[in-house]
Structure 1
Amino acid sequence: MASLHRFTPSLVAFDPRGASVRAVAYHRLRVEDQPVARVNRNVFGITGALQQQWDPRQVHSPGGRPAISRQYSLSGRVLRTDSVDAGWHIVLSGSGGQGLTRWDSRGGRQRYQYDGLLRRVAVFEQAGNDARERCVERLAYAPPSAGHAAFNRCGRLVRHDDPAGSVAIEHYGLGGAMTGQSRRLLNADTPPDWPAAEHLRELQLAPERFASSWHYDALGGLQQLTDARGNQRLWRYGVEGELARVELVFSSARRKVLLERRDCNAQGQVTREQMGNGMLAEFSYDEKDGSLLRLAAYRSARRENTLQDMTYAYDRVGNVLSLRDAAQPTTWHSNVRSDATCVFGYDSLYQLVSASGRENARHAGGPALPGLVMFGAAQVDLWRNYNRHYQYDAGGNLVQMRHAPSSGQGYTRRMAVAAHSNHAWIQGQAVGFDRCGNQQTLTVGQALSWNLRNQLAQVSQVLREDGQADTESYAYDADGQRLLKRRVSKAAGMTHLREVIYLPGLELRRDHATGQWLNVLTIETGRTSIRALQWQKGRPDGVNDEQLRFSLSDLTGSCTLELDEHAVLLSQEGFYPYGETAWWAAKNAVEASYKTLRYSGKERDASGLYYYGYRYYAPWLQRWISPDPAAEVDGLNLYAMVSNNPMTLADADGRAGSTMSERVSLGLFFVGFLGLAGLALGALADIPAIGATAGALLGGVLLGLLVHEGYRNARRKAVHNSAESIAEWLSQRAIDIAESRGLTHEETHRLVNFFYEHQGDNALLSVAAHSTQEGKIYGFVGPAVSAQVANNLMQSGKSMGRDMRRLGYRNILLRDPVRAQPEQPVGPSTAGAVSSFDVQATTGLARRKVARASAPAASSESPGVLARAPASAFSADMSAVEHLMAGPEGRSIALTIGHLREGRTGAVHWHKYQDEGGLWSADLHAYPGGGTGRGAFRLMFEHLGGRRYRVVGVRNPHR
């Protein structure tokens, strides 16, 4: 791999103003090839504004055109944008920067209307062949009044009539988040034309109303969502804001735990998920860069019955080189071994050029799914290996994919690409594009229709001579998100209507032909997504009501496993690199029919297209069917899927690919963007170079802050976790010493404080106790590497004060029967001594940072700040637990109180509970019957004001 990248640097050329005018990359497919320069060219105007962007294909093409060109108004705003992929559009802006009118190359026009506060109140649209414009959106805002103030609605949007219907916002939270809304759909399939009068708009709406509500905590975290069918989802978070537990309460009052426990590492990555169905998922990461190395799923926490065991290997820049699922069986057929191993190869631009794996032996490729395999099928020829080879042109268009199976007939898919754009189609198929770059035909005989906003409006799957086609049509809300899918088909002289209504956390799937009405509840719990099937009517035989389906995803977010609420496998699926299904299997055909989430965790429509949120993806074409609505944020090729690297990158919503390192990429974007913005603004003041420099410097500062904040967050989590693990070990050790020596709570507290005072002096410490014949008790803290020698000295009976100091040990007099108060540490006598010794169990990070972790970070909530101060700074009424203080429970309680008095909040996970009436919580380490981490017993406090608290009791986490 190293030789492939020899002499392939990335070069950037700047003009005297600091603007990037050339970006050169070198392409090599094979080691023996000579590197070929791929040049991206930028053209800036006199004012420093970016006017043209050329991709490597058009730069060297005779008669080539810039991929994107822009024209600016006298005020510096973009007036016209031309794209070889998406056509042109013109935006006329007002004096306040608000868009007034927009035209595009299809002849469509949009007009925006505002009130005196420049709030948008209406949107009008007119197609090129329409006689007049239609009002497709109307927005209403609440005036100041006591009634609206009660629901925090004053001045805020309260009603929005959009292309799919109408939504009413009923109340807002104190932070401005919407907490209640109701949605209604149109009562007809025709696009709306909203009149100004509200009572006339009501006539265009269906009577059914779908109400949803949200509840947030004080930090803005979503705690509860109640969907339109009365089902509740409950989220709980840890002290760092990480998701910790998820529950679902059906409208029938049946309660289900979806996520039982979730553990994260110091970087915030999920390391363990214990699901409500018993499934255990574990994740391992590379310590250097955080890459996922292993994903293992087991049917239960006992790690028996492995469901998935995927391991990943990467090259030095993070591209996925291979993955293997050790949980899948290895099969043999015709002397060919087939196992669940995939291997990938890349060119010098990190485009995927080869892939190998296994597939359904009877899959012929194309938009259709391969045949379903039932679990337990006995055929030995179900699987075969495959190799795929990909070729791209200079613009990043896939021009050829060659599929070579280990048995049977292979095939080659070739794409034809337009000379001066990135419009592409399968050779031999007459596929056109409209003037805005929207594909007009999906496959032969399947027409695509688009609305004025360049959103897919309809797929005609079967065209008949009588004009009655099988269609699937879509409606979208004002934000461009799909709200309704309606499928109409004909069979046996009957018309079948199926529709899906998409609501917050809920999908209403209705089959009007069979009478089956199904509510699908959607819940995200991190790496595992959950769907609950709730039947309104028409439940088929053999299918349980309120069924839970747990979907486990891979590195790209694709749904590879589905389990029921008892962790029984329902379905399984494998994918080719660009998203086609290579094989899939299920428990039975009925269970398979309810699987809707597949590649990248997205829904696959009947047409074979995947809906991502902003556009649709055709996996058999390995490209999008419309240009990127976010323009060139993911490259100048507006149809390319994740820069042709689908195993390393994933697209969340159809606009850009991303990886774990996107925080840095976002920062680099700030540098470039603000540099250009500064250049443009500086040019207006006749100082373009100074403006560009200032903008770039500001972007650099933002980048530094962004990266530093990520570093600080990771370090803060690591320090907190380390402090807590040390406190757990030290508490157990201190209690052991206290019980063996009969130490009082105050003496134990002094030993713990002595340990923390010297924690920063050595890399790894041990703690010991020693008793003398005179009844004195000493505590020792010193380097763990000398623990064995120190222990031998204490057991030898010789004078050991000087030798212990040479070993680096320090001591404190915990008890002196003669003096009421201990003096400064002195070397104890060892005659007849009895010793107790142990070594601190901690991590490398803890060895460096635990002393710093003792001081809590500043907090906006004064009760949470327990800075190091005299003991009087923190006081607690212990009356509620006074009866426990004389027993073993009392030692743990006293240690926790001691940590809080000294300001070591991180040692006891001190935080405010969000579901206990505002109580505060601190972990009780080494509490009898308790565990560690989330299994620890907790001391609960009521805040009385200032640093005064009242202990209200001990909480058992298992109840």
Structure 2
Amino acid sequence: MSTSLFSKTPTVAVLDNRSLTVRDIAYHRHPGSPDVTSERITRHQYDVRGFLTQSADPRLHDTGLANFSSQTDLTGNVLRSQGVDNGITVALNDTAGRPFLAVSSISTAGVGMEDRSQAVTRTWQYEDTTLPGRPLSITEQVNGGAARITELFVYAGNSVEEKALNLSGQPVSHYDTAGLTQTISIALTGVPFSVTRRLLKDADNPDIVADWQGEDASDWNGLLHDETYTTLSIADANGAVLTTTDAESNLQRVAYDIAGLLSGSWLTLKGGAEQVIVRSLTYSAAGQKLREEHGNGVVTTYTYEAETQRLTGIRTERPAGHASGAKVMQDLRYEYDPVGNVLKISNDAEKTRFWRNQKVVPENVYVYDSLYQLVSATGREMANAGQQDSSSPTATIPLPTDSSAFTKYTRSYTYDEGGNLTQIRHSAPATGNSYTTDITISNRSNRGVLSTLTKNPSDVDTLFTVSGQQKQLQPGQSLVWTVRNELLKVTPVVREGDTGDRESYRYDAGSQRILKVSTQKTSNSIQSQYALYLPGLELRTTKAGATQTAGLQVITIGEAGRAQVRVMHWESGIPEGIGNDQIRYSYDNLTGSSQLELDGDGNVISMEEYYSYGGTAVWTARSAVEADYKTVRYSGKERDATGLYYYGYRYYQPWAGRWLSADPAGTVDGLNLFRMVRNNPIIFVDPDGLSPSLRTQLPGSNLYEPKLRTGEDRNRRGASHLIPSRIENSLVEGTPIKLEDALTEHALSTTPILTDLINPTKVSMNKVTRDILANKSMAGGILAFNAIRFSISENKDIHALRIVDSETSTYQTGEGTVAAAYWAPQGGYVDIPAHPMTGPKVVLTPGFSGCSFVADKLNEETIRVRHVQGGKEDLEYNNLTADEHGQGMIDAMEYRDYGYHHDSQGNLMENITGSAFMIYENDQWNLKYQSLANAPGISSLREESFGFFNKKTRLTGEIRHGEGKNVVKTKTLSLHH
């Protein structure tokens, strides 16, 4: 691809006299017309206080519309927001800053008028002021109708029994939209030992809505099904989960190395013997996976580009001596352009084939425009492939051996100025499989549908709900949504005067799917399929009428290395041609798509390749019955019978390359709430339907747009608050240690790094140090540091960083422990050399509980490191002048990075606090951070002498700490620039 296409296409920010960005200008060129450059301007307006009030993209601004407008209170909290994609919402907090009232699904009824006929009002109730103020319930009301209590919280008391189970004061019963979740016991570390789920009665009926009216559990439990599903866990003293027993008594066991990284995993099916899932793993010094061996004897190795650490190869093979014979099963090779776009993916394990005067190479080649949108992709597809739609692809059986199975294709993609994919052109000349898919985009929003639904842009908005949910999938296929904007029901087949086919869903309080029910009418009965999603387990049942014909347990291995491992155990109705307790190892590609499935002996079950936006290009299996049981496919997500992919918060239409509903996270990924992964699905991945996992890259560089998330976008939706452990105060002796010893990889992954002692109220400091810490100039500097190790118990330490100056005692200085480091003050910055030849090679900063740690490239010689305070992202970073950002952001650690982690059950937990530092190693700066659960603290430090003839000195810290593991997640960001 010619580099001239990207020449002189910068991203430009225009600032007003308050340094607020009022214009974002991008320059678009297409490879098909490289001499034509179009200027695309996104416009922003602000109120007199500097809060954003309106944004408009290039397409809608030309029609006189704004994508978003908002009104804020005096502190900047958004009270009312209006978006062309997601409608109008109103939100109010109480005096404590907690959610109090929210009204959504408000539409416009003319200039300056609102239509609340479909409005949903949600209210939160809390304990009174004599209690801690915990939430009690959430009530929902539709269009002024009867109020339903959709969520209810019950807390444990202070009885002897509750104390014995560590439950005192904890939320032990959560009644939600799916039923009841109960916490039966908790470890001192906060890890749930026993959790039970019960569903609503008739939960499979989509018309049943939870309403937890009544005075006590006797009223509420009457709405529940009798069956309970209990998940058990065992954790070590640090809080690391070692075993998990699912609701059907299948046990998963894991082990970790000294750095806290996975070293092996095992599975014991109920009544069976333990079997290996992951035999061994090897990591680099930076924590990147280099090699893993699974229980089927298959080995996967990973290679990385030395300069950028980008993944360049994934090789999966049966090694020499394997019982099934040595063979390379998959050998993926990645080639990138200088900014990280993938240009080519080849599979060297597959051979080049020749058919109908064409050379069919097992590779994909990609072309981008100057905005890094994918505009062309070439690859191979099955020779019998037809036009892509919502129907399930048919696998080629058995695995092909001749050259006539594959042919070449080219796909071209067209986008409008708002980033909407408007056309997909497919061409496979050798088989005549050529067609065009057109998407009609509204002239008043970014809502869009296939042209088979309408070709008139003025009609598109009528095919969506007020909040931006699509109401038809294909002509005649209706979509129904809950008041929480979750997909409730799809009717793929409608029969006039008769029962239609249907697929319905039920979700928990975090909007995560817990139940799927599919019904199809056969010649003489109704066949129903049920899928219940539990921690580490899917229970899938098939019924003909009221008679169960099959019962399948799918055990999903939580720690299986890179592969997704699923074990299929039939309780009844095992199909012919597939063995019971089959293990399926699914090996993925760069974006997590399941490409290769192997069995427990390392033999191929199936192979699948995908078009760029998710359709199936190649799909072959050794048997039809095994192909039918592959559900996890593109991007590692489940494909439903509707053809939709379920991502967690949204559903995705691969045949249209767009989401089915507006982004519930708002503008976290730009003004277009329907755009899929920034129109670059080759490098970007959306893990949950909220936003891609990578930042917005600046054209022509390795840098990113200097923008941190603000407001609610800082948070991760659906997280539960971490259950606090019991707090103790202990006097603990401290020992001065070298700064470098507190910053090793092992220390980072096991020991909390605290900055409590970098505080003039707790330790003595001279005036120079106090002035730097006071941050009067906003700029940091170079200070001398060491660390103090406090050993609370045999296996539990704390590392406290401290500044060494003229006020520091000789004992606290410690012999040979002191080293210089840069200091980035909270709310300020420090400038450091991009490649230090002499001087400090460490950057330290205060601990984090809502703040961000970000590095900008000022120029080729200097990096500016900022500690941005939570809630002040615009003031301290986003709205700074272009000169203060220099060439752009290298990378950042934000609250959503360190403030959350997944517990042993896969639940998203909010832990709030973290620690971070930067260190120069291997010719580059790395930003390293740790997420801390129930973070300890240091209340005071005192030094005392003892002994009469042989006087000694002792440091004692008053340490506030809980039981169990504090470091729950670590990560290293390589600051390539």
TM-score by shorter chain over 0.5: yes
**2:167 aligned partner:** 153
* Contact 1:450-1:456 at 8 Å conserved across structures: yes
Deviation at 1:593, TM superposition (A): 1.2
* Contact 1:53-1:69 at 8 Å conserved across structures: yes
Aligned amino acid, residue 658 of structure 2:
R
**1:395 aligned partner:** 418
Deviations 1:675-723 (Å, cap 9, x if unpaired)? 999xxxxxxxxxxx999x996759675554898999xxxxxxxxxxxxx
Counterpart-to-counterpart distance in 2, 1:369 and 1:671: 38
Aligned amino acid, residue 22 of structure 1:
R
* Contact 1:672-1:696 at 8 Å conserved across structures: no
**1:119 aligned partner:** 134
Deviations 1:276-309 (Å, cap 9, x if unpaired)? 1100111111011111111111023658211001
Q: Rg larger in 1 or in 2?
A: 1
**1:86 aligned partner:** 86
Counterpart-to-counterpart distance in 1, 2:56 and 2:541: 48
**2:518 aligned partner:** 487
Deviations 1:769-807 (Å, cap 9, x if unpaired)? xxxxxxxxxxxxxxxxxxxxxxxxxxxxxxxxxxxxxxx
Deviation at 1:539, TM superposition (A): 1.8
Counterpart-to-counterpart distance in 2, 1:29 and 1:218: 58
Counterpart-to-counterpart distance in 1, 2:447 and 2:119: 20
Instruction: Confirm whether residue 510 of structure 1 aligns to residue 525 of structure 2.
Output: no
Alignment map for 1:801-950 (pairs within 5 Å): none
**1:422 aligned partner:** 446
Secondary structure of the residue aligned to 2:663 is: coil
Counterpart-to-counterpart distance in 2, 1:77 and 1:63: 26
Counterpart-to-counterpart distance in 2, 1:533 and 1:666: 44
Question: For 1:411, which of 435, 440, 449 is the aligned residue?
Answer: 435
**1:175 aligned partner:** 189
Counterpart-to-counterpart distance in 2, 1:39 and 1:696: 31
**2:318 aligned partner:** 299
* Contact 1:280-1:301 at 8 Å conserved across structures: no
Counterpart-to-counterpart distance in 2, 1:362 and 1:542: 25
**2:367 aligned partner:** 345
Instruction: Confirm whether residue 640 of structure 1 aligns to residue 660 of structure 2.
Output: no
Aligned amino acid, residue 434 of structure 2:
G
Decide which moves more: 633-642 or 193-202.
193-202
**1:439 aligned partner:** 470
Secondary structure of the residue aligned to 1:508 is: strand
Secondary structure of the residue aligned to 1:13 is: strand
Counterpart-to-counterpart distance in 2, 1:203 and 1:611: 31
Instruction: Confirm whether residue 521 of structure 1 aligns to residue 523 of structure 2.
Output: no
Deviation at 1:667, TM superposition (A): 11
**2:41 aligned partner:** 39
* Contact 1:279-1:299 at 8 Å conserved across structures: yes
Deviations 1:591-613 (Å, cap 9, x if unpaired)? 11111110011000000000001
Deviations 1:491-539 (Å, cap 9, x if unpaired)? 1130111100000010000002261100101114231110011122222
Deviation at 1:367, TM superposition (A): 1.7
Aligned amino acid, residue 216 of structure 1:
A
Deviation at 1:126, TM superposition (A): 2.0
Aligned amino acid, residue 12 of structure 2:
L
Deviation at 1:658, TM superposition (A): 1.7
Aligned amino acid, residue 553 of structure 1:
D
Question: For 2:296, which of 265, 274, 277 is the aligned residue?
Answer: 277
**2:21 aligned partner:** 20
Distance 1:530 1:419, change over 3 A: same
Deviation at 1:222, TM superposition (A): 3.0
**2:493 aligned partner:** 462
Counterpart-to-counterpart distance in 2, 1:46 and 1:146: 58
Aligned amino acid, residue 554 of structure 2:
V
Distance 1:112 1:667, change over 3 A: farther
Counterpart-to-counterpart distance in 1, 2:601 and 2:892: 41
Deviation at 1:656, TM superposition (A): 1.1
Deviation at 1:14, TM superposition (A): 2.4
* Contact 1:7-1:35 at 8 Å conserved across structures: no
Distance 1:661 1:280, change over 3 A: farther
Secondary structure of the residue aligned to 1:512 is: strand
Distance 1:133 1:502, change over 3 A: same
**1:615 aligned partner:** 650
Instruction: Confirm whether residue 244 of structure 1 aligns to residue 263 of structure 2.
Output: yes
Deviation at 1:672, TM superposition (A): 7.0
**2:751 aligned partner:** none
Counterpart-to-counterpart distance in 2, 1:367 and 1:541: 28
Distance 1:323 1:709, change over 3 A: closer
Deviation at 1:361, TM superposition (A): 1.8
TM-score (norm 2): 0.69
Question: For 2:57, which of 52, 55, 58 is the aligned residue?
Answer: 55
**2:272 aligned partner:** 253
**1:903 aligned partner:** none
- Structure 2 unaligned regions, length at least 5: 107-117, 455-459, 716-776, 780-824, 830-844, 846-850, 856-864, 868-889, 894-919, 926-934, 938-963, 965-977
TM-score (norm 1): 0.70
* Contact 2:178-2:199 at 8 Å conserved across structures: yes
Aligned amino acid, residue 210 of structure 2:
P
Deviation at 1:338, TM superposition (A): 1.2
**1:596 aligned partner:** 631
Counterpart-to-counterpart distance in 2, 1:848 and 1:649: 24
The alignment-based identity, stated in percent, is 36
Aligned amino acid, residue 64 of structure 2:
G
Aligned amino acid, residue 110 of structure 1:
R
Decide which moves more: 87-96 or 694-703.
694-703
* Contact 1:674-1:695 at 8 Å conserved across structures: no
Question: For 1:193, which of 197, 208, 211 is the aligned residue?
Answer: 211
* Contact 1:671-1:696 at 8 Å conserved across structures: no
Aligned amino acid, residue 164 of structure 1:
A
Deviations 1:441-494 (Å, cap 9, x if unpaired)? 011121100000000000011111125221100000001110000111111130
Counterpart-to-counterpart distance in 1, 2:10 and 2:696: 21
Decide which moves more: 145-154 or 637-646.
145-154
Distance 1:654 1:700, change over 3 A: closer
**2:154 aligned partner:** 140
Aligned amino acid, residue 309 of structure 2:
G
* Contact 2:381-2:407 at 8 Å conserved across structures: yes
Counterpart-to-counterpart distance in 2, 1:848 and 1:463: 61
* Contact 2:852-2:892 at 8 Å conserved across structures: no
**2:796 aligned partner:** none
* Contact 1:40-1:56 at 8 Å conserved across structures: yes
Aligned amino acid, residue 291 of structure 2:
R
Deviation at 1:136, TM superposition (A): 1.3
Secondary structure of the residue aligned to 1:138 is: strand
* Contact 1:49-1:676 at 8 Å conserved across structures: no
CA RMSD of aligned residues (A): 3.1
Deviations 1:554-597 (Å, cap 9, x if unpaired)? 00100001111111111110000001011201110111111111
Deviations 1:625-664 (Å, cap 9, x if unpaired)? 00111111111111111000000111111111124999x9
Aligned amino acid, residue 449 of structure 1:
V
Distance 1:612 1:267, change over 3 A: same
